[in-house]
Amino acid sequence: MTHSLRIPDLMMPARPEPAVPTRVAPGPGDAGDLASRDVDVIRVRGGARLGGTVHVVGAKNSALKLMAAALLAPGRSMITNVPRITDIAIMGEVLRRLGCGVHFHDDDPVDPMVAYGGVARSRSVTIDVPEQPGSDADYDLVRRLRASICVLGPLLARRGYVRVAHPGGDAIGSRGLDMHVSGLTRMGAEISGEHGFVIAAAPHGLHGAEIVLDFPSVGATENLVMAAVLARGGTVIENAAREPEIVDICSMLIRMGARISGEGTSTIEIEGVPELAPVRHATVGDRIVAGTWAFGAAMTRGDVTVTGVSPAFLEVALDKLVAAGGLVETRGDTFRVRMDDRPTAVDVVTLPYPGFATDLLPMAIGLASVSDGASLITENIFDGRFMFANEMMRLGADIKTDGHHAVVRGREQLSGAPVRATDIRAGAGLIIAGLCAVGDTEVSHVHHVDRGYPDFVADLRALGVEVERDRAPEEPALTI
């Protein structure tokens, strides 16, 4: 599939050997990888033009759920191409406390497309699941990782009882569990809440049901599919989420022996089976990380080739970049984005997949902030995404928000300033926006970035950015 003008030579020259980063994002299994890193900052020098090749590893939003899916089968499962990020470390600890053995192994650090400075960017994880896993997921971990609620479905199916702390996660709006609860109730579960915990029991086991989701929720679809694979009879989920990560989870479950059809469509059908078997499965590439680099290339008028992700997962986003004046070529699991001139303003509306991903909204606002003209950005998924706009305005962006809408009038350049990451994607978006600014931009609370982007600083360096990561200066003590 080729967009706009064809670039004759997709394969770019080999990138230079990147500098060894002074500080590497924490990886699963590293000492202190569960410690807070909100005292770190990332500084970038404005005026950079991204250029080169970047390899994207497995999707965080898939790997976390694949790890939970391993709970459905006693024995040893292995998941490969797992990103080296703190969220994976937290999920590993959740599983350990449920009685699983969890061990991480570096992928080959010699391959320059897999590692920087001898540090593997992706890992494999082996999960040894006992015959009777635990049934309690504690607050101290679940509050830090909303995705850990995905153990609800597998544990209810395996154990008939589960007690999971109500999840936390990014501060990007209300994301309730109503559809999880409603669907599991239709499958025979008895669910209550007390003292901050969700308690689910199915003393007679789960049974198949017809479930219609009010909204194509990714989390609800995942939990219901994982519960249904061991339920008696058939389950039909209407208005199911269609994301590639859903397809990835279903692919792993099918390899484990589940009977699933319709994955990737709005209707998923599951016929329950008595038991599943452990498997080895490779995580699908991270389309959001890939999209981040695509927008970064367009914002900085750069030329970036991204490998490891199917461009079909980003069709709407790449079409927007073409409309903005970019040149895009795709082939296999590789695509290239080049922007020679100032981008033209385009409107963006976030929608469930295959629409424009809400996780790419900060990048869309960043692009609009340096485009020629005015853009209307509409957020339909999470009501708190526009908190990011306040930080962009500190960089000089002209943004006016009204409910779920933002009008962004582009400027030729932004102005470097200290800003604060409010969530994973906002952090990455602010760092890339800083590349379009005059002077230096310092982004604090970058522990958020560590939760979604393995070796982000090393990737930036490899693409030609002058960047450093350091400890934030201590604030002076106040006296009264």
Long-range Cβ pairs for the range 473-479 (8 Å, 24+) = none
The structure tokens listed for 462 are: 């490899």
CA distance 49 to 427: 19
Contacts of 146 (CB under 8 A, 6+ apart): 167, 168, 169, 170, 175, 219
Q: How far apart are CA 119 and CA 122, in angstroms?
A: 9
- Nearest CA to 452 out of 172, 201, 181, 252 is that of 172
Q: Which amino acid is at 252?
A: M
Contact by Cβ (8 Å): 156, 184? yes
Give the helix ranges, DSSP H, for 118-177: 139-142, 152-159
CA neighbor of 353 nearest in space, from 380, 385, 388:
380
**Is the CB of residue 284 less than 8 Å from the CB of residue 263?**
no
Spatial separation of the C-alpha atoms in residues 177 and 191, rounded to whole Å: 11
**CB-based contact 349:378 (threshold 8 Å):** yes
Total residues belonging to the chain = 480
CA 3, distance to chain mean position in Å, is 26
DSSP 467: E
- CB 70 within 8 Å of CB 79: yes
CA atoms within 13 A on the CB side of 134: 14
Q: Assign 328 to helix, strand or coil.
A: strand
The one catalytic residue in 33, 40, 87, 170 is: 170
What residues have CB less than 8 Å from 151, skipping those under 6 apart? 68, 71, 94, 95, 98, 137, 162, 164
Q: How far apart are CA 453 and CA 139, in angstroms?
A: 25
Please give the C-alpha separations between residue 155 and each of 15, 200, 238, 403, in angstroms, as whole numbers: 46, 10, 23, 38
- Helix (H) / strand (E) element for 48: namely none
- In whole angstroms, what is the distance from residue 333 CA to residue 353 CA? 19
CA atoms within a 13 Å half-sphere pointing along the CA-CB vector of 199 = 7
Residues 317/362, Cβ–Cβ less than 8 Å: no
46, amino acid identity: G
Is 423 a residue of the active site? Answer: no
Q: Write out the catalytic residue numbers.
A: 170
